[in-house]
Structures are given as structure tokens and as C-alpha cells.
């Protein structure tokens, strides 16, 4: 969330950013709600002061009558104050984060800027071959092969038909070597992260509303989140299934003040994630690319106010390390302004793998510098070396979205005979070189 003082002092600058990001609320609306709320605060304070003045001496009958009137009026104003605060905070929360000067302006795929493209056996494409949109697709490998659903069925490792009977559409069973591939991917990245000094965490996947508000998944992404019915929930509290372990990871530090010498904090979690995929009906309905339940290894960090961009680039390096270890073609793009993941974004890179049999890129994750936007909502601070309390910066990264990474491996490593070569780096974990059909 933006600093209210900053919005008041720099309304034109904030509105320019809202337009740049395609925001759904105007600064004028926010400031009007702010003015109404502040006026009510002042009115309530004046009423309390008058009430205290009257009650400081032995009251006359007229003063007793006045105190009753003040009490009733104050009760009414306090109710209005509660509503005005809710209105103001609701509008303020919809203002997007200020944007990095490196964020390209645009409204989707054609405007994303390619930062890097890498091919096995060739390495990075020269910068002269990078561009916008799908520019690099012309340089990517092509081959004939099966869609991952058909290949998974032939290998007897992916079953979306039985999962449809079990849970409905957009669910899957991953079994046998597909499950082993997932475990192997986890082990590979987990070992790397621990060697790099990251702290592993096991986190709740049911969280309170304020946690999702804190990470900016609420209010704008609320329709993507499953809410749990409260009648069987302890204390009737509202709980939500997470679409990423990012919210519970950062919530571990909510309302805490850290020491600068203990930053950055680097941590990761491996969880099941849940998304309603509202707005995606009819899109990617076949297969496991866009599902309601999936597994993901999330990598996050807390930094000083100077350290978030460096951390973002560092996490990008880990993403690229993984893809190069797996020898998978990929690209990194700088997301355009009106297609960022959520309001908290200050700058966002996406990692996309290449599917040679489909002739398309597949999004494998986002790497986002959220500046102090999330930390302000979650009250995550640090004590600087000169003893000043400052807001921390947050950086979040999709380490591995398991289903999509397995799609990318199957597509790139499938063979004409229907088998799949196991990436060399994963063979020690699987104990085999190939995944073959059951009758193969």
C-alpha cells in the first residue's frame, strides 16, 4: 500500500502512475475519501474534548442534558468514522505500487520486453536478437510430438479423466514417474537454496483475510481465492486457501521489527496451492497447465530499502540456473505496466519455458520486487544501523510451479518412440535415464 502522506503530497505523480498501470481507482477518489475521513476524526475529537470539559466539574441540569446529547452525537460520528475509514482504506488499497523506471509501458504480451533468451547447446541469444512480444519464438527449436496429456496418458503418469470423476475439471492425478519427477525437481532446487543460505519453512495453507490483504492478493485478486465455509471452523473465523506460499511466508514476519544486520532474510516453502481460475474458463482446459490445485516451491526474501533490486536479480539468477541445469530453452521477460501480476508490483520479470512441439512459451513463474508496498500493509520493519525504524522491502519468486515444469520437461525431452529422456541432472534422483510406456 502507498504511504498516505505521499499520496497527499504527490497526487499528480501518483495519478500518472495509476494511468501507467491501468488502475481502477483515481487519486481524486482516494483524496476525497481521505478528506471525509479526516473531517470525521476531527469532529469526533472535538466532541470528546467538549464532553470531557463538561464532565470535569459538577454538571448543572443543562450540562447533564448536553452530555447526553454529546454522547449520542459521538456515537453516531464514531459509526460514521468506522464506515469512512473502511471506504478510505478500500480505495487506498486499490492504488498500485509506484513503478520502476525500468518497467515498460504496455498492455500485455506484445509489449513485454525480452531480457534474456537461452538455448541448450547454444547459450544466450545475442542482444541484437531480443525484442518485444514473441520476437524470440523465431529462434526457438521446433519438433513434432505429443501434447503432454496424450504423452502422460501413454506413459501412464498423468490422469485427468479419473481426477474429473474425483474432483471435477482442472484437477489431475500425477503418479509414478511424474510424481518422482516432481520430487526430484524439489530436491534439486531445495539443495541449491540451502547451499545458498535460504531457510526452509513449512507454512499454513489456510490463512486469515488480513494476510492476503497484506500481500496485496486482496482486494483485487479476491475472486481467485477459495474461502472456507465458517460453520465448521473454530471460532467461526474466515479462512482462505492460499494460491501461493508467499502470503504465509511474509506473514511470519508480520508486525515484527528486524535488525538491519540480520537482513536479508531468505526463505522458501513447498506447498499445495489453490486457485479458482475465475476469468480463465474455456482457456487451457486440456491438461495440467491451468488447474485449481498445484504444487509450488516459492522463494521469498526481506531486504533493506536499498537491497530489493539486487535481491530480485539474484533470484532471477537462481531461476536461470535451474533452467540451465535442466537444459530447457527459456526466456526472461520484463512485464509491461498494465499486465503485472498484482498491485504490489514495483518491477516484475517472468520466466517462460519453450514447448517445441506446441510452438509456444509457457509461463513458469514471476520474480517480483514489491518495494515497501507489502511491508507497509503487514507492518514489517527493520531497525537501521543508525537506529531508525524503516519499512523492509519484499521480493517474491516462483521457484518451481511443478505441473508446468513437468509439462516443459515432457515436451522437450520426449522421443519419437513415446519415451521421455530424463534430464541428466535429475537422473540420480529418479534412478533411471528414461521414462518409457508401460508396454515399452
Binding residues for L-serine: 275, 298, 396
Give the residue numbers of the binding site: 275-277, 291-294, 298, 363-366, 396
Q: How far is CA 243 from CA 137, 224, 411, in A?
A: 30, 8, 26
How far is it, in rounded angstroms, from Cα 64 to Cα 54? 8
Q: 3-state class of 176 per DSSP? A: coil
CA-closest candidate to residue 423, choices 117, 120, 194 = 120
Binding-site residues for ATP, in ranges, read 275-277, 291-294, 363-366
394, 370 Cβ separation under 8 angstroms: yes
Other C-beta atoms closer than 10 Å to the C-beta of 273 total 20
> Measuring CA to CA, which residue among 180, 190, 175 is closest to residue 270?
190
- Helix, strand or coil, per DSSP, at residue 400: strand
- The three three-digit cell numbers of residue 237, written as one number: 473465523
**Dist. CA 125–CA 134, nearest whole Å:** 14
Q: Provide φ and ψ at 303, rounded to 5°.
A: -135, 175
Nearest to 422 by CA among 178, 189, 191: 178
Residue 49: burial class (beta carbons within 10 Å; 0-12, 13-18, 19+) = exposed
Among residues 86, 91, 100, the alpha carbon closest in space to that of 26 is found at 91
Amino acid at each position: 500500500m502507498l504511504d498516505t502522506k505521499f499520496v497527499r503530497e504527490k497526487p499528480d505523480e501518483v495519478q500518472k502512475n495509476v494511468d501507467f498501470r491501468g488502475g481502477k481507482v483515481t487519486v481524486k477518489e482516494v483524496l476525497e475519501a481521505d478528506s471525509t475521513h479526516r473531517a470525521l476524526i476531527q469532529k469526533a475529537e472535538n466532541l470528546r474534548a467538549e464532553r470531557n470539559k463538561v464532565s470535569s466539574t459538577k454538571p448543572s441540569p443543562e450540562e447533564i442534558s448536553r452530555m447526553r446529547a454529546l454522547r449520542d452525537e459521538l456515537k453516531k460520528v464514531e459509526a460514521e468514522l468506522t464506515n469512512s475509514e473502511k471506504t478510505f482504506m478500500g480505495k487506498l488499497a486499490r492504488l498500485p505500487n509506484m513503478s520502476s523506471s525500468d518497467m515498460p509501458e504496455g498492455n500485455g504480451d506484445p509489449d513485454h520486453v525480452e531480457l534474456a533468451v537461452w538455448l541448450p547447446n547454444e547459450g544466450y541469444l545475442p542482444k541484437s536478437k531480443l525484442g518485444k512480444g514473441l520476437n524470440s519464438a523465431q529462434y526457438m527449436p521446433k519438433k513434432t510430438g505429443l501434447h503432454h496429456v496424450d504423452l502422460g496418458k501413454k506413459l501412464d503418469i498423468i490422469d485427468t479423466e479419473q481426477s474429473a470423476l474425483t474432483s471435477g475439471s482442472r484437477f489431475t492425478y500425477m503418479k509414478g514417474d511424474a510424481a518422482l519427477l516432481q520430487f526430484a525437481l524439489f530436491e534439486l532446487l531445495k539443495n541449491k537454496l540451502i547451499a545458498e543460505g535460504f531457510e526452509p519453512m513449512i507454512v499454513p495453507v489456510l490463512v486469515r483475510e488480513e494476510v492476503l490483504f497484506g500481500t496485496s492478493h486482496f482486494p483485487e485478486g479476491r475472486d481467485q481465492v477459495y474461502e472456507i465455509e465458517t460453520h465448521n471452523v473454530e471460532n467461526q473465523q474466515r479462512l482462505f486457501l492460499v494460491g501461493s506460499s508467499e502470503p504465509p511466508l511474509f506473514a511470519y514476519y508480520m508486525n515484527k521489527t528486524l535488525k538491519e544486520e540480520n537482513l536479508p532474510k531468505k526463505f522458501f516453502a513447498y506447498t499445495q496451492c489453490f486457485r479458482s481460475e475465475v476469468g480463465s474458463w474455456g482457456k487451457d482446459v486440456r491438461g495440467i497447465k491451468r488447474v485449481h490445485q498445484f504444487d509450488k516451491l516459492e522463494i521469498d526474501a526481506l531486504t533493506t530499502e536499498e537491497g530489493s533490486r539486487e535481491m530480485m536479480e539474484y533470484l532471477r539468477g537462481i531461476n536461470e540456473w535451474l533452467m540451465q541445469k535442466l537444459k530447457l530453452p527459456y526466456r526472461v521477460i520484463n512485464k509491461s505496466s498494465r499486465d503485472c501480476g498484482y498491485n504490489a508490483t514495483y518491477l516484475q520479470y517472468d520466466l517462460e519455458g519453450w514447448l517445441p512441439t506446441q510452438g509456444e512459451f509457457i509461463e513458469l513463474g514471476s520474480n517480483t520486487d514489491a518495494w515497501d508496498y507489502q511491508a507497509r500493509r503487514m507492518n514489517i520493519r527493520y531497525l537501521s544501523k543508525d537506529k531508525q525504524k524503516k519499512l523492509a522491502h519484499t521480493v517474491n519468486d516462483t521457484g518451481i510451479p511443478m505441473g508446468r515444469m513437468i509439462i516443459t520437461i515432457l515436451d522437450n525431452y520426449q522421443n519419437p518412440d513415446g519415451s521421455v529422456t530424463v534430464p541428466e541432472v535429475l537422473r540420480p534422483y529418479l534412478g533411471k535415464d528414461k521414462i518409457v510406456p508401460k508396454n515399452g
